[in-house]
């Protein structure tokens, strides 16, 4: 089982960014107030920070836990959370991509997915679309990546 908003693959102790966002959450609550779900989230945080299960596994609330609580307090629908979590990450993703392109040896390798679907498709209104699987392939060697970058940059 996985509890979303807790733990981080890089920060094995409390995420230093989470402390900053936690303070911002308190500032937001001062202005907007709290609702029952926010109270539950804050109680969950309190329990997790003191529970041996979480402490032994170094599972601390992360940035997404607090930003999700802030978004909820601001009235964003939960369906919008993935988009809201993605927007600030875009700058980092673009920076990683630029680093990769600027490195002549392409030593900076980050996971990627390659779209395997149709290269060109005409627009079809949503009401007329049929479901079909989208093919993604994440298996790419470093040599192939360098070759693809070299071909694209020529």
Q: How far is CA 10 from CA 6, 14, 62, in A?
A: 12, 10, 11
Q: Which two tokens stand for residue 120?
A: 């060109």
Catalytic residue among 15, 27, 64, 79: 64
Concerning whether 8 is annotated as a catalytic residue, the answer is: yes
Strands 114-115 and 136-137: antiparallel
b/e per residue 52-75 (b: at least 16 CB within 10 A): eebeeeebbbbbbbbbbbbbbbee
The strand ranges marked E within the chain are 114-115, 136-137
Interatomic CA distance for residues 6 and 14, integer angstroms:
10
Concerning whether 103 is annotated as a catalytic residue, the answer is: no
Sign of CA pseudo-dihedral 83, 86, 91, 94: negative
Q: Catalytic residue positions?
A: 8, 64
């Amino acid at each position: 089982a996985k509890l979303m908003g807790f733990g981080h693959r890089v920060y094995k102790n409390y995420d230093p960014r989470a402390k900053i966002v936690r303070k911002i959450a308190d500032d937001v609550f001062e202005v907007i107030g709290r609702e029952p779900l926010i109270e539950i989230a804050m109680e969950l945080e309190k329990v997790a920070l003191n529970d041996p299960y979480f402490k032994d596994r170094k599972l601390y609330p992360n940035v997404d836990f607090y930003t999700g609580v802030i978004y909820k307090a601001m009235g964003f629908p939960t369906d919008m959370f993935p988009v809201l979590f993605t927007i600030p990450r875009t700058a980092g993703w673009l920076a990683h991509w630029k680093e990769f392109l600027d490195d002549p040896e392409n030593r900076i390798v980050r996971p990627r997915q390659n779209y395997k679907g149709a290269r060109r498709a005409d627009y079809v209104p949503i009401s007329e679309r049929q479901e079909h699987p989208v093919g993604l392939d994440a298996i790419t060697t470093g040599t192939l990546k360098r070759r693809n970058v070299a071909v694209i940059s020529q």
